[in-house]
Amino acid sequence: MSLLEAATRVRENAYAPYSRFKVGAALRSTAGNLHVGCNVENVAYPEGTCAEAGAIAAMIAAGDQRIAEILVIADSPSPVPPCGGCRQKIAEFAAQDVVVTLCTTDGLSRQMTVADLLPGVFTLEHMDRA
């Protein structure tokens, strides 16, 4: 199954009663496994958790630790980039040259690398003196 098909399917499972803005994400690990996630809102935190974070959590829960590629889809006029927190999470588990594909339900897409998505990423090397 393609990342686009998987993200499109899981997007329908999003729990978004407050924003009504459903987002799906799918990633392939470096081991070749497919992992998906969707956004989940709640009354105390109406912005909810992000689809990308859900896919990464599913990857970790399944025993994989590295992202080979990731795709995000939403019903938006233009491709929606991940929030800042998800950008950092993606950068934690993906090399800087990994491709991130952002899609709309209308068929628009934009590709970039993790380095393009989060320039100046905070890494473990920043804590070398700790």
* Residue 50 among known ligand-binding residues: yes
Say which of 52, 69, 92, 125 is annotated catalytic.
52
**11 phi/psi in degrees, rounded to 5:** -55, -35
* Residue 98 among known ligand-binding residues: no
Cβ–Cβ contacts within 10 Å for residue 94, how many? Answer: 25
Is residue 52 part of the annotated active site? The answer reads: yes
* Residue 41 among known ligand-binding residues: yes
* Residue 58 among known ligand-binding residues: no
* Residue 114 among known ligand-binding residues: no
Residues making up the annotated binding site for Zn(2+) are 50, 83, 86
Q: Which residues are annotated as a binding site for substrate?
A: 39-45
Q: Which residue ranges make up the annotated binding site?
A: 39-45, 50, 83, 86
Residues that are catalytic? 52
